[in-house]
């Protein structure tokens, strides 16, 4: 500081350096405008509530139908396969028990309990391995084991009508192919001491020319039409033919004289019949399929003799 000066001298201010372009007299480039943020796209309004509800309802119905289809499929599998396996096991047990009783030579009792096996049923037309025990009774538990005997009907070999019922679908289905039986086809019942051979009666359309038609076949020997107006039975069997389809209420199909009231004929005059009954058509119980057959032969069981030996004897081997 100069003591003589009356002012404070500040350091000189240097002018800013000019850029070469400014020195040359050029104008600087204009500044870029600020970048604007991107504009948001307009949002679409949500769909109306009516369409969404309709889709939900359709989807729910579809899921329900699929569930019902799965349930039906499982039921069919159960009825056609699972119940067959269960019945096969019950049938094996019944067969083993019956064989044990026969080996002990136990006589047939009149007071059989429901579900108790007392005989065997064979149908050669269904193969040599077709073999089911016959149980007493026709309740649902008994029929799961195999064919059941109508308690109030005749016993094998007796005059009158031996009534036997069986399932056609599931639960072993012993009578699945019953509709395939024709006139004169054999149905064999084995008991402790005998084989009883029944043969299917003539069909409705075979009656007129039975003696000269199919009735002349050696296999049909002893198979009558049961039509003999002048004989002791008269017209009592005029409704009895080899195969009939009836309503479920026709319990008289297994009457001593089929479709006739009790007492129509005395016991001594009654034919010895075997009647098989099952549901008709398959997978339905709307009607009943009835097969009527008549006893043509009885063979005492010889020691060591088998069912296969019998087939040769009756010409069914």
Q: For residues 299 and 310, is the Cβ–Cβ distance under 8 A?
A: yes
220 is catalytic: no
| Chain position carrying tokens 């009578």 | 175
List the beta bridge partners of residue 196: 189, 298
Distance between CA atoms of residues 109 and 86, nearest Å: 28
Residue 26 in domain: no
pLDDT above 70: residue 248: yes
Give the integer Cα–Cα distance in Å for 153 and 135.
Answer: 13
Q: Is 99 left (phi over 0), alpha (psi -120 to 50) or beta?
A: alpha
Q: Residue 222 — very low, low, confident or very high, per pLDDT cuts 50/70/90?
A: very high
Residue appearing with tokens 């030579």: 105
Catalytic residue among 184, 220, 279, 292: 279
Task: Write the burial class of residue 177 (CB in 10 Å: 0-12 exposed, 13-18 middle, 19+ buried).
Answer: middle
Domain interval for residue 143:
73-313
Q: Judge whether 279 counts as a catalytic residue.
A: yes
Number of domains in the chain: 1
Instruction: Give the pLDDT confidence score for residue 111 in this predicted structure.
Output: 82
Q: Does a structural domain hold residue 99?
A: yes
Kind of pairing between the strands at 160-165 and 272-280: parallel
Residue 107 belongs to domain with CATH number: 2.40.260.10
CB 278 within 8 A of CB 289: yes
Model confidence pTM above 0.85: no
Q: What is the pLDDT of residues 123-164, one digit of tens each?
A: 999 999 999 999 999 999 999 999 999 999 999 999 999 999
Domain membership of residue 23 (yes or no) is no
What length is written for the chain? 317
pLDDT above 80 for 165: yes
In a domain, 20, yes or no: no
């Amino acid at each position: 500081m100069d003591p003589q000066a009356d002012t404070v001298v500040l350091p000189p201010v240097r002018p800013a350096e000019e850029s070469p372009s400014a020195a040359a007299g050029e104008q600087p480039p204009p500044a870029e405008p600020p970048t604007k943020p991107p504009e948001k796209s307009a949002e679409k309004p949500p769909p109306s509530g009516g369409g969404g509800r309709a889709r939900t309802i359709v989807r729910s119905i579809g899921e329900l139908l699929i569930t019902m289809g799965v349930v039906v499929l499982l039921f069919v599998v159960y009825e056609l396969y699972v119940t067959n396996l269960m019945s096969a096991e019950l049938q094996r047990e019944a067969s083993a028990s019956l064989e044990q009783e026969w080996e002990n030579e136990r006589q047939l009792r009149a007071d059989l309990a429901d579900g108790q096996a007392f005989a065997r049923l064979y149908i050669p037309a269904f193969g040599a391995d077709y073999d089911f025990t016959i149980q007493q009774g026709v309740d649902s538990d008994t029929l799961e084991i195999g064919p059941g005997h109508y308690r109030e009907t005749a016993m094998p070999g007796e005059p009158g009508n031996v009534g036997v019922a069986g399932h056609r679908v599931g639960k072993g289905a012993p009578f699945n192919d019953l509709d395939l039986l024709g006139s004169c086809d054999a149905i064999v019942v084995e008991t402790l001491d005998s084989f009883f051979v029944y043969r299917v009666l003539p069909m409705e359309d075979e009656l007129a020319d039975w003696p000269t038609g199919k009735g002349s076949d050696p296999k049909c020997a002893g198979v009558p039409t049961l039509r003999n107006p002048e004989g002791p039975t008269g017209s009592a069997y005029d409704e009895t033919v080899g195969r009939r389809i009836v309503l479920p209420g026709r319990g008289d199909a297994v009457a001593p004289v089929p479709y006739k009231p009790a007492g129509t004929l005395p016991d001594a005059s009654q034919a010895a019949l075997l009647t098989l009954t099952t549901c008709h058509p398959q997978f339905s119980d709307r009607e009943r399929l009835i097969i009527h057959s008549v006893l043509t032969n009885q063979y005492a069981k010889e020691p060591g003799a088998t069912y296969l030996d019998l087939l040769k004897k009756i010409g069914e081997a």
